[in-house]
């Protein structure tokens, strides 16, 4: 029996194929998604908000999806993001305080106006330097300058998502790939199911810009409290300086091309900040962009949207006054003195 093949827009016996094709497409997407969400992976993207153009999901509040960015960047699943990270002249690293504080148009505009590429590689879950070190070693990162948000930063702590990614087990890889494939199918899936019920954060593949406002948490303006002492009571400066120096040697980064930035906390401490002493001890650059009680917080850790803009604007003004030798020189070549074994 012969069935005619109509051209686009034509019908057979007065019946359009378009609704049928649409239904079959949704069934196929739903079937693949259901398979990916089977007990074999334990992963589901249902409820997570979809990423926009040039973005990928950083994390989703659904316990069946959770964090994606640690494994994605470690395994190189987001190829464009990894390529831009490797091409960055300036990399920002630190915890989620760095992730929030430097994801602003002020930072983007400053570096773009000077023809420089920057990438925000701060991580959530109170990540410290070990995970960045492992990524730098694996992917051969060669920034001209490294900006480290200190809060404090030089400890061996590894967050649960980072530890899982670094384990390189088959299950971790399968789950990461499942999240990647689901994210690719999500726009079609969202035509049939709700994709807006769960808080979700996103990262830009272009520069690591962390998008949270309106999708992850409600912006607030929580005031800071003033302390009557310096922050030295919380920081062992000699030990932190030794840890910082060892860390920079392991990733092959000259201290003169590193900028240490104390990240604001809910408390306003007296000056000088101990991070300045650490920078002086190791020969690094130092920027204090904390303007005091005019900075507000959206929760117990992170600057509000407007305060992040104010903080990062102060940072780029100070950055512009630093010696520019590192940015004029070729990308760092004294790389990867030894592989991390942690």
pLDDT at 26: 44
The count of domains in the chain is 1
263, part of any domain: yes
pLDDT at 39: 45
- pLDDT averaged over every residue in the chain: 85
Q: pLDDT tens-digit profile of 9-46?
A: 444 444 454 554 444 444 444 444 444 444 445 788 88
Q: pLDDT tens-digit profile of 266-324?
A: 999 888 889 999 999 999 999 999 999 999 999 999 999 999 999 999 999 999 999 99
Query: pTM to 2 decimals?
Result: 0.84
| Residue with more model confidence, 338 or 325 | 325
pLDDT at 204: 97
Tokens of residue 202, six digits: 């996103």
Surface-to-core class of residue 221, CB atoms within 10 Å of its CB (0-12 exposed, 13-18 middle, 19+ buried):
exposed
236, part of any domain: yes
11, part of any domain: no
Q: pLDDT tens-digit profile of 18-28?
A: 554 444 444 44
SS3 184: helix
pLDDT higher than 90, residue 193:
no
What is 141-178 written as a DSSP string?
---SEEEEEESS--S----HHHHHHHH--HHHHHHHHH
| Gap between the Cα atoms of 14 and 10, Å rounded | 9
312, part of any domain: yes
Judged by phi (left if over 0) then psi (alpha if -120 to 50, else beta), residue 163 lies in alpha
Q: pLDDT tens-digit profile of 64-118?
A: 999 999 999 999 999 999 999 999 999 999 999 999 999 999 999 999 999 999 9
CB 153 within 8 A of CB 128: yes
| Residue with more model confidence, 237 or 12 | 237
SS3 110: helix
95, part of any domain: yes
91, part of any domain: yes
Q: Which domain holds residue 170?
A: 55-327
| Gap between the Cα atoms of 274 and 282, Å rounded | 13
Residue 224's alpha-carbon distances to 104, 182, 301, 333, in angstroms, are 21, 41, 11, 42
314, part of any domain: yes
153, part of any domain: yes
| Residue with more model confidence, 236 or 3 | 236
């Amino acid at each position: 029996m012969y069935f005619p093949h109509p051209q686009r827009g034509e019908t057979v016996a007065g019946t359009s194929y378009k609704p049928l094709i649409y239904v079959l497409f949704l069934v196929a997407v739903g079937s693949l998604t259901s398979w990916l969400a089977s007990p074999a992976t334990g992963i589901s993207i249902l409820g997570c908000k979809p990423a926009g153009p040039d973005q990928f999901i950083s994390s989703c509040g659904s316990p069946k999806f959770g964090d994606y960015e640690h494994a994605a960047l470690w395994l190189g699943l987001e190829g464009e993001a990894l390529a831009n990270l490797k091409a960055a002249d300036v990399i920002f690293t630190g915890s989620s305080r760095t992730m929030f504080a430097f994801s602003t148009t002020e930072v983007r505009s400053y570096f773009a106006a000077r023809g420089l590429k920057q990438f925000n590689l701060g991580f959530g879950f109170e990540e410290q330097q070990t995970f960045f070190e492992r990524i730098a070693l694996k992917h051969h990162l060669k920034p001209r300058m490294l900006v480290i948000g200190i809060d404090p930063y030089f400890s061996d702590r590894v967050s649960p998502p980072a530890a899982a990614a670094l384990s390189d087990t088959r299950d971790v890889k399968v789950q990461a790939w499942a999240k990647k494939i689901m994210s690719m199918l999500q726009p079609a899936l969202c035509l049939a199911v709700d994709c807006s019920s769960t808080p979700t954060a996103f990262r830009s593949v272009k520069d690591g810009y962390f998008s949270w406002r309106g999708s992850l948490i409600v912006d607030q303006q929580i005031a800071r409290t003033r302390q009557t002492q310096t922050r030295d009571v919380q920081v062992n400066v000699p030990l932190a300086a030794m840890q910082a120096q060892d860390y920079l040697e392991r990733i092959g980064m000259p201290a003169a091309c590193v900028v240490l930035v104390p990240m604001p906390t809910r408390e306003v401490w007296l000056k000088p900040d101990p991070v300045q002493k650490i920078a002086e001890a190791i020969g690094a650059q130092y920027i204090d962009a904390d303007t005091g009680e005019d900075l507000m917080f959206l929760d117990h850790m992170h600057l509000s949207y407007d305060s992040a803009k104010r903080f990062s604007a102060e940072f780029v003004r100070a950055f512009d006054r630093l010696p520019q030798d590192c940015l004029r020189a070729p990308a760092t070549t004294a790389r990867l003195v030894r592989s991390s074994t942690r």
